[in-house]
Structure 1
Amino acid sequence: MVPLLTSPIDVEREEARRQAIRELLGPEYSKESLVDRLWRNVNQFTGDLLDQESLGAVGSVAARAALLVIVIVIIVSLLLIARRTAGGGASRAKGIFGDRRLTAAEHREAAERLAAESRWAEAVRERLRAVARDLEDRVIIDYTPGRTAGELAAEAGRALPALADELSSAARVFDDVTYGEVPGTPEAYGIMRDLDDHLRAARPAPAGRAETP
């Protein structure tokens, strides 16, 4: 039998891949961001596709077609991420209230109206705004423009420790439906409504005493 000969190009390519694998196992890649990892994997994949040109005209056409699809997908994904990041960043910068300033009663009324129309995500937002405004009006928390739901939960939880867990849960629900694109539900609105009722009946605990709702 005639021994199979390995071309120098194949040997160099295989050695390069082994070196790349050893490099990726290094500690500097353990903290690599998801975007960097994705970009590196795409580059490696496209490089493998382009290597198919050695298979002839059919492989070359298939590689170029696949590469074009990958480029289009990457561009569309980056545009969607940029749009979502810009929108979420702008919304978070405005805090819970955005550009609106209503009374607690007005926010509460709006929340009930939206809930009656099954517009749950909007109802969730309005009810937490009612909670925040009510706490500010009662001077349980300070008026702070641009306050986020998490900051509201942390500050109010210190003043009303018995409701701290409930406040944190409500903040997560608010963030999920506002920034995380999680659909609003009757259950989510129920969390906000119950929190609002409990807070309206609660009083800050005197120093050194536990607060009871």
Structure 2
Amino acid sequence: MIALLDVFAPDGDEARRWAEEELADPRYADAKPTWFDLISRDIGRFLADLFSSDNGQNIGPTALIVVCVIVFAALVAALVIWGRPRRGRAVRRPITGLLGADDDRSASQLRADAERAARSGDWDEATVLRFRALARGLLERDLIDPSPGATAQAIAREVSRVFTAEADAVRRAATSFDDVRYLRHPASAESYAELAATDDRLTALRPELATA
């Protein structure tokens, strides 16, 4: 024998109360669109209606002005809310193997050692150390970012982009380094003095002044 179950049908007030209790569940609040979602949806609908086939024949300068105003207002709102985007600063990798040497001395230390070598008349050693000091100093100031294994000429090209007025002098300095380091051509007091003078100018020069 099949028992007949009574089906409870709530009245209007009871059904409304059930609906309110159900909608009060937190999962519905989490799924609620944000104000940004609502504004974006309304703008999208407005633009879709504006450029729909039904209104396509009626688009004129006024519609273009309205669209431009909306885009400009959206950009201004984004700047106000999130702020001006800042260029991310890359994390500079430590470079110890600079110009073919595993050397972690600072620029000031390299300059001091170069001057000691020059005072003793070892112009070859002084030239090599002074050009490394030049490159290390610009690297410490975040003005160049040579790749691992960069040559003296590659560093000179980077420096030339920062200090255009010193391009020729830096190329000559790189050539002096290559002549001593790789071609075994002896340096002289004059060639070292020119390299040291170039390093001193770059040390005192700021990029914005060089560009101007």
Q: Normalising by the residue count of structure 2, what TM-score does the alignment of the two structures yield?
A: 0.52
| Match status 1:180 vs 2:183 | yes
Cα shift readout 1:168-201 (whole Å, capped 9, x = no counterpart): 0101111011111111110111121101111011
Tell me the secondary structure at the aligned position of residue 207 of structure 2. coil
Tell me the secondary structure at the aligned position of residue 211 of structure 2. coil
Counterpart of 1:107?
110
| Contact in 2 for aligned 1:141/1:156 (Cα 8 Å) | yes
Amino acid at match of 1:211: T
Deviation (angstroms), 1:145: 2.5
Q: 1:131 to 1:97 in 2, by over 3 A?
A: farther
Q: Normalising by the residue count of structure 1, what TM-score does the alignment of the two structures yield?
A: 0.51
Counterpart of 1:162?
165
Deviation (angstroms), 1:204: 1.2
Deviation (angstroms), 1:97: 4.8
Counterpart of 1:201?
204
Pairing 1:55-134 to 2, within 5 Å after superposition: 96-134=99-137
Amino acid at match of 2:159: A
Counterpart of 1:149?
152
Counterpart of 2:46?
none
| Match status 1:211 vs 2:207 | no
Amino acid at match of 1:182: H
Cα shift readout 1:80-99 (whole Å, capped 9, x = no counterpart): xxxxxxxxxxxxxx652511
Deviation (angstroms), 1:154: 0.2
In 2, distance between residues paired with 1:151 and 1:193?
Answer: 19
In 2, distance between residues paired with 1:144 and 1:101?
Answer: 16
Deviation (angstroms), 1:144: 3.1
In 2, distance between residues paired with 1:203 and 1:95?
Answer: 23
In 1, distance between residues paired with 2:190 and 2:160?
Answer: 22
In 2, distance between residues paired with 1:192 and 1:96?
Answer: 16
Pairing 1:3-22 to 2, within 5 Å after superposition: none
In 2, distance between residues paired with 1:101 and 1:204?
Answer: 25
Structure 1 unaligned spans of 5+: 1-93
| Contact in 2 for aligned 1:156/1:164 (Cα 8 Å) | yes
Amino acid at match of 1:191: E
Cα shift readout 1:143-168 (whole Å, capped 9, x = no counterpart): 53322110110001001101011100
Give the RMSD, CA atoms, in angstroms: 1.7
Structure 2 unaligned spans of 5+: 1-96
In 2, distance between residues paired with 1:135 and 1:97?
Answer: 17
| Contact in 2 for aligned 1:97/1:129 (Cα 8 Å) | no
In 1, distance between residues paired with 2:194 and 2:100?
Answer: 19
Amino acid at match of 1:173: S
**Deviation beyond 2 Å, 4+ runs, structure 1:** none
| Contact in 2 for aligned 1:120/1:185 (Cα 8 Å) | yes
Tell me the secondary structure at the aligned position of residue 176 of structure 1. helix
In 1, distance between residues paired with 2:121 and 2:206?
Answer: 32
In 2, distance between residues paired with 1:179 and 1:152?
Answer: 16
